[in-house]
Structure 1
């Protein structure tokens, strides 16, 4: 079964069982949450095959967003205020994902110190964090917390919960753009091992993520233009990181995918915030 995943072959289960299997694999890859093995899974911990799993990544992002959304609701019920509530929500997401995307952002930022492609790739593999990486992490966390806190202040708890869920889904979908549109920068990295998703599957996932954004935005009473802006800005952020990776590295890595997710989430949150009256 693990060989099937590496080659991007379909899971043996069909229909909804295959979708559930793919979703479970996504949740294990993207988070530290304890996702039990499903009864029909032959290898619950096989390497994910992104050529097939892409279709469920918007749903995986949505499920992951439930964790910080719950933390935000509890904090607001305890009357902790918008800023502390936003901090706890973002911290909960970081813990749930094991700082997977934040690590990628820091590594990409540190690569700015490299003068050649090979040196940049070498820096990105270094487990130590440098000044560029530390600054990028601080700024990214500050922007996410600040934007979420302002959404709580300008709208309400329901709008903030919708914002978390929408951006969790959109940003993880947008983060796939480097993986879809660029070849791997290395022949031995994780991005090479998981395979390159077909563009048709990516556009399907983008459509699902957009539908999730529209539906949740409507339920929360968010401005339609704000929802459109979050979709467009998250996509532009993923596209920008794809272009950056092409110029900076000549391809994509897992770190680039993580950085794209972070930038897309920040862009989507700020886009929504700009249409909410202070």
Structure 2
């Protein structure tokens, strides 16, 4: 059990700003094995976002409460996945071949595609959550609690399905370039899927279908453009999956 706790804390420290206790060992091999707990990190991020939303919604209009709760989760994660989305937009939007796409994504500066993509992504997520607020404060909180783990499961599945696209060791995500073993994949799936019980059947089914569709679309796109994934592309897949889940839940709410 201690080893499993260490792996979870390794994943938590890598994907959030939470300090990891000094007694937790670090190695690239442990980070690779910690991939099973990436969706569980989504429980923590989603819980922080839901708590922030419920607190702000008591004293502020829904629109401001949503924006501030998003700001809290972005600060909590260090904009880790948002940065990956922006870099992916720049690379896939501005690059013609694999080498050019990878070089653009490696550049720390943000370009036109990244700026537009990031703004549109944040606006789309904000407006989706604001629309969900019409169904009650609990609807937003439950959507956050479900979307963060499930979207991270989609990104984790890409690690399992796809090869790593970079041929060098320069990327921070190189340690993750290994397929998960069946037991590890089962743990990731359990952590990503269990929060769906918080939703109604129609909302859970719509969220699952949306997450699956985004993951399959991302896998096809990444294979076609780069022959695999990079860390930035995993972040982009998480962001797209999160938005897709919100939209799926919203559509299910509006159709029932």
Q: What is the TM-score when the length of structure 1 is the normalising length? A: 0.85
Contact conserved, 2:163 with 2:177, CA < 8 A, in 1?
Answer: no
- Tell me: CA distance 1:171–1:195, structure 2 relative to 1, closer, same or farther (3 Å): same
- Pair 1:180 & 2:157 matched: no
- Which of 29, 39, 48 is the matching residue for 1:58? 39
Secondary structure class of the residue paired with 2:227: coil
> 1:251 Cα deviation (Å)?
1.5
Range with bigger deviation, 89-98 or 255-264: 89-98
- Distance in 2 between the 1:50 and 1:171 partners? 19
Q: Does 1:226 align with 2:203?
A: yes
- Residues 249-270 of structure 1, C-alpha deviation per residue, up to 9 Å, x if partnerless? 1121000100000000000000
Task: Tell me which residue corresponds to 2:190.
Answer: 207
User: The residue matched to 1:193 in structure 2 has which SS?
Assistant: helix
- The equivalent of 1:28 in structure 2 is 13
Closer, same or farther: CA 199–239 of 1 in aligned 2, 3 Å:
farther
2-side partners of 1:196 and 1:94: how far apart? 27
Q: Alignment partner for residue 265 of structure 1, among 237, 242, 250?
A: 242
Unaligned runs of 5+ residues in structure 2 are none
Equivalent residue number for residue 253 of structure 2: 276
Matching residue within 62, 75, 81 for 1:101: 81
**Preserved contact between residue 31 and residue 175 of structure 2 (Cα < 8 Å):** no
Structure 1 match to 2:141 = 161
- 1:203 is displaced (CA, Å) by 4.4
Contact 2:207 2:245 (8 Å CA) reproduced: yes
Q: What 5-or-longer segments of structure 1 have no aligned partner?
A: 1-14, 218-222
Partner in structure 1 of residue 174 of structure 2: 192
Which is bigger in relative contact order (C-alpha 8 A, separation at least 6)?
2
Secondary structure of the residue aligned to 1:176 is helix
CA–CA separation in structure 1 for the residues paired with 2:96 and 2:181: 32
Deviation at 1:247, TM superposition (A): 0.7
Identify if the C-alpha distance between structure 1 residues 161 and 20 changes in structure 2 by more than 3 Å, giving closer, same or farther. same
Q: Distance in 1 between matches of 2:89 and 2:233?
A: 10
Paired residues in the alignment total 251
Q: 1:132 pairs with 113, 119, 124, which one?
A: 113
Q: Greater CA deviation, 128-137 or 202-211? A: 202-211
Offset of 1:48 from its aligned partner? 6.3
RMSD: 1.7
Which moves more between the two structures, 252-261 or 59-68? 59-68
Change (3 A) 1:48 1:66: farther
Higher helix share: 2
Assess, with a 3 A threshold, how the Cα gap between structure 1 residues 164 and 175 changes in structure 2: closer, same or farther: same
**Structure 2 Cα separation of the partners of residues 75 and 139 of structure 1:** 23
Alpha-carbon distance, 1:204 to partner? 3.9
